[in-house]
Amino acid sequence: MLKNPKVTPRALTTKEKADRANDIYDSFANYLCFCPGCNYVDKTNMYLMRAEMRVQKLRDEGVKCPNCGRCGWILGYPLGSTTGFVKF
């Protein structure tokens, strides 16, 4: 797991989560998996389903953040992006 220092993550908003629950999402956006405790970015540039699977796998396996030791991985976007489309 490598941290990309050019990426500052943000959690999905309440509206983005509600849209996702209703199968409304941008299928071409770039999602990321990160630790909300310290903003350590586990992986970036994933399509939604792959990112959701990554988050779930890390949680199921109890993988702890190498930076803070927390196991609370979440799905997100790069900070400042409403679509996930950014160039790193």
Q: What is the pLDDT of residues 44-76, one digit of tens each?
A: 888 888 999 999 999 999 999 999 999 999 999
8 A C-beta contact, residue 70 and residue 64: yes
**pLDDT over 90 (residue 84):** no
Question: What integer best gives the mean pLDDT of the chain?
Answer: 85
Q: Which helix (H) or strand (E) holds 60?
A: helix 48-60
87 band by pLDDT with thresholds 50, 70 and 90: low
Q: Which residues contact 51 (CB under 8 A, 6 or more apart)?
A: 31, 32, 33, 43, 75
**pLDDT over 70 (residue 80):** yes
| Other CB atoms within 10 A of residue 33 CB | 25
Whether this model's pTM surpasses 0.95: no
pLDDT confidence of residue 60: 97
